């Protein structure tokens, strides 16, 4: 597995090695010891979650207040355009984003540290399953959201969303999150 840090400190891309043969393939999607060596720790209370989204669905931009949450995100089936935004107060990259394709072909995953916003849009014409390994139990009272199309962030979405939740459509501007 290759682990590389992005231009946003603490945000890592994990690229596993797929072993292919006539039967198909095998790949290790996470290695706790290797992650720990790069400062990624999920802790004893981690939770796994999964979403399935139809083509064109956009989910985001979501984050967690309070202590935040760290998460490992990957696309197990289909493909998504994934975007994270640094929302850490005082960060030298505050407001900057990282965007990349996550899919079931190269199995890349993103390690997203606390203090980032996260969202994705399904690309292609089939549904996508996105898997999350989160470092702490979910507390809905700490949920935060920022408008996916906020002009101050100018996020590079691939297309207009075909479907978005009411909550995401009503999310506030980036400026209100920063105070």
Strand partners, 72: 111, 133
Which of 97, 98, 118, 132 is flagged as catalytic? 132
Residues whose CB falls within 8 Å of the CB of residue 20, separated by 6 or more in sequence, listed in order? none
Using CA atoms, how far apart are residues 135 and 66, in angstroms rounded to an integer?
14
Which of 62, 97, 98, 118 is flagged as catalytic? 62
38 part of the active site: no
62 part of the active site: yes
Residues annotated catalytic, as ranges? 62, 132
């Amino acid at each position: 597995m290759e682990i590389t840090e992005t231009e946003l400190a603490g945000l890592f891309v994990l690229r596993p090695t797929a072993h292919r043969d006539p039967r198909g393939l095998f790949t290790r999607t996470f290695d706790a010891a290797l992650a720990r060596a790069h400062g990624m720790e999920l802790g004893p209370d981690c939770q796994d979650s999964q979403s399935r989204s139809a083509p064109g669905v956009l989910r985001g931009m979501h984050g967690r207040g309070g202590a935040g949450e760290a998460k490992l995100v990957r696309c197990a089936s289909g493909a998504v355009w994934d975007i994270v935004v640094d929302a850490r107060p005082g960060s030298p990259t505050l407001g900057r984003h990282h965007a990349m394709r996550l899919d079931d072909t190269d199995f890349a995953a993103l390690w997203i540290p606390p203090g980032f916003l996260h969202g994705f849009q399904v690309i292609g014409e089939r549904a996508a399953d996105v898997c999350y390994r989160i470092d702490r139990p979910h507390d809905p009272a700490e949920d935060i959201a920022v408008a996916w199309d906020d002009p101050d962030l100018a996020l590079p979405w691939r297309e207009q969303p075909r479907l978005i939740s009411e909550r995401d459509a009503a999310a506030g501007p980036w400026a209100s999150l920063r105070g």
